[in-house]
Amino acid sequence: MKIKPLADRVVIKMLEAEETTKGGIILTSSAQEKPQVAEIVAVGPGGVVDGEKVVMEVKVGDKVLISKYAGTEVKVDGVEYTILRQSDVLAIVD
């Protein structure tokens, strides 16, 4: 199955959280923070949203920083994705 977002939405896949601290301490999965860096796997066409024209500024393959509680999590073919609006993307990570 393939996900094709509509309007100004993007589909992202969260990148793995750090398993060790800078000091070398290994963290359990419950102690790890939810990652806020993700990779974009699909981008909607943009268009007019709420009466304003939206131009998509992100593209597939971009690594982005997102809001902590943004989007809707979905599971497709055993893989977890998050669908959110482009406005929930805070920055592109180089």
Q: Residues 21-54: pLDDT tens digits?
A: 667 666 555 544 556 899 999 999 998 988 999 9
Inter-residue long-range contacts of 88-94, CB under 8 Å, 24+ positions, other chains counted: 89/10, 89/58, 89/64, 89/65, 90/64, 90/65, 90/66, 91/64, 91/65, 92/58, 92/62, 92/63, 92/64, 92/65, 93/37, 93/63, 93/64, 93/65
Provide the 8-state DSSP code for 27: P
Query: What pLDDT is stored for residue 31 in this prediction?
Result: 46
Amino acid at 30: S
Q: What percentage of the chain carries pLDDT values higher than 90?
A: 67
Q: What percentage of the chain carries pLDDT values higher than 70?
A: 81
- For the segment 3-10, the average pLDDT, to the nearest whole number, is 96
Average pLDDT score over the chain: 87
